[in-house]
Amino acid sequence: MSEMVKAVVAGGDNRRSFDCGRDATFAQDDSSVEGEEQDSTPFDKLREECGVMAVYGHPEAARMTYWGLYALQHRGQESAGIAAADGSDVTDIKGMGLVSEIFTDEVLAKLPGHMAIGHTRYSTTGDSALLNAQPISVESTKGLIAIAHNGNLVNLGNSRTRLERDGAVFQTTSDTEIIVQLIAHSRCNTLVDCIADSLAHVDGAFSIVMMTRNRIFAARDPHGFRPLSMGRIAGVNGAPDTFVFASETCAFDLLHAKYERDVEPGELVMVSEDGVTSRRFAREHVPPASCIFEHVYFARPDSRIFGRWVQQSREEMGRQLARESGVAADLVVPVPDSGVTAALGYAAESGIPFNFGLIRNHYVGRTFIQPEQRTRDFGVRMKLNPVRNLLEGKRVILVDDSIIRGTTSRKIVRMVRAAGAKEVHMRISCPPTISPCFYGVDTPSKKDLIAANKSVAEICKFIEADSLAYLSLVGLTHSCTQGEPAHGMSPASYCTACYTGVYPTAWVDVEDILPATVGA
């Protein structure tokens, strides 16, 4: 086992897998509870912060952006916005809620122009008010600039203070506005130089799209934490091509756009009536650090990110997990939806039949009315229901993509067992999450991450599984690089900080990185 793999195994237990043994006692009663965690946030998952989209050169740019955001809805459900430009004016409309709730035909008609940028958001910095919804538009000495940002800056304190000292008045508490204010305060001569200069001064994760009255810009931070791809729609009857940018390529499919390439880490792309130009803004080469959790969980399996199909990585995670920690069983069951592709890989590799032993209700809103008398695991049971006739009397392997606090996993294990499963073995398609993310993913602090505070054996006991195993770090990076060409992604191309505690940038919250107290 490499040093890296040792590092991800939490607590005093140096194994990634653990058999709880048959003497463990499992609570199965379903009565009303006192002291049980409440179900107001029933799904214990890390949350992606944002999806961005841009369209240049289409008469219905806002509508195309809307469709793109629709496909990116999984990247943020808190607020959404679109800014459109027609060469002289920029109009933006933002709202709280889902893309389809905010943008009706009537609303889209108020966004004229051949260029648009859009954003769907789950906040990671700043509060969650409409004020911080994006795109953010700022009128500056360089003209009006609208920006939409996916990621998280990590040297906020310095930049904000310096800008305020220079007279900047911030409209929002979002870190994204810092980029616009830096552009506005840059002393460079041309707008594109101001943008490049500003991007070179911020640290952290940013995949951004920007718009002025007549140009679109797209850029990725030098580490390339978050994905950002460029596509093209061929013009008809001699019309010029339309250029599109999106966090994930699944947004291109609805527009019939063809994937062209990724925006490279440290690259600034500009699209104007003169065509597409590109330049590097990063002053020096920094090691790549693309977020591996995009492949584990965030991105859709039908997307190609960092030049690689998510489905390919995720299925291999399941296969590798089966090779690393196989167990005798009758049925492989995914925790839907995110566990499905890895579970298919696990079943294919192990030869154990796959079936949907848990059904997800896709129509449960973000909030729902609880029963007056609080009952155990109500929130999870609203979203997931076991298929009793598949599970009864079976030794079940449950495949999921992560355990964050452990509370949801425990509820699911209980549910499967209560439906008649003889054994429940939990398999996780990534290593234990031991450190928070500072690059745009909403992670609980270290004290709330179960793997930062308990050994695998203790987690197994906590979630009441018969056995528990995680994919090794080496197995994960193998899964996300298998079959790559020589110039493609390598294990060193990825950020794996939430599994190792080794961060690719210096500016992080030291308090949160300090080792947690075991049992805290």
Residues that bind ligand SF4 (CB under 6 A): 225, 291-293, 437, 439, 441, 495-498
338 token code pair: 């995110």
Backbone phi, psi, residue 330, to 5°: -105, -20
Position 441: which residue type? V
Beta strand 204-211 with 143-153 is antiparallel
H helix runs in 208-367, sequence order: 250-253, 292-293, 310-324, 340-350
CA dist 176 and 121 (Å) reads 12
**Nearest residue (CB) to ligand SF4, 111 versus 516:** 516
406 three-class SS: coil
Question: Would residue 498 show up in a list of annotated catalytic residues for this protein?
Answer: no
**Cα separations in angstroms, 373 against 20, 367, 369:** 33, 17, 11
Count of CA atoms in the C-beta half-sphere (13 A) of 517: 2
In whole angstroms, give the CA distance from residue 316 to residue 429: 9
* Closer residue to ligand SF4 in complex, CB, 225/252: 225
- The β-bridge relationship of strands 216-220 and 441-442 is unpaired
Of 402 and 467, CB closest to ligand SF4: 402
**Least separation, in Å, of the C-beta of 292 and ligand SF4?**
5
In angstroms, the CA 96 to CA 128 distance is: 9
Q: Which of 55, 437 has the CB closer to ligand SF4?
A: 437
Q: Which residues contact 403 (CB under 8 A, 6 or more apart)?
A: 44, 409, 426, 428, 432, 433, 450, 451, 459, 463
d(CA 321, CA 429): 7
CB of 498 to ligand SF4, least distance (A): 3
Tell me whether residue 23 or residue 511 sits nearer to ligand SF4 (CB atom).
511
Please state the closest distance from residue 367 (CB atom) to ligand SF4, in A: 26
- Which secondary-structure segment (H or E) carries 50? strand 50-56
Distance CA 513, CA 520 (A): 15
From 20, 50, 194, 498, the catalytic residue:
50
Half-sphere exposure of 264 (CA within 13 A, CB side): 11
Of 245 and 439, CB closest to ligand SF4: 439
Residue 137 or 443 with smaller CB distance to ligand SF4? 443
Shortest Å, Cβ 239 to ligand SF4 = 39
Cβ at position 336, least distance to ligand SF4 in Å: 22
Q: Is 126 left (phi over 0), alpha (psi -120 to 50) or beta?
A: left
Q: Which is nearer to ligand SF4, 175 or 241 (CB)?
A: 175
Are 166 and 187 in contact, with CB atoms under 8 Å apart? no
Nearest approach in angstroms of CB 514 to ligand SF4 is: 16
How many CA atoms, within 13 angstroms, populate the side-chain half-sphere of residue 498? Answer: 27
Shortest Cβ 42–ligand SF4 spacing (Å): 22
- Cβ at position 291, least distance to ligand SF4 in Å: 3
d(CA 151, CA 195): 17
- Token digits for 512? 């949160």
| Residues that are catalytic | 50
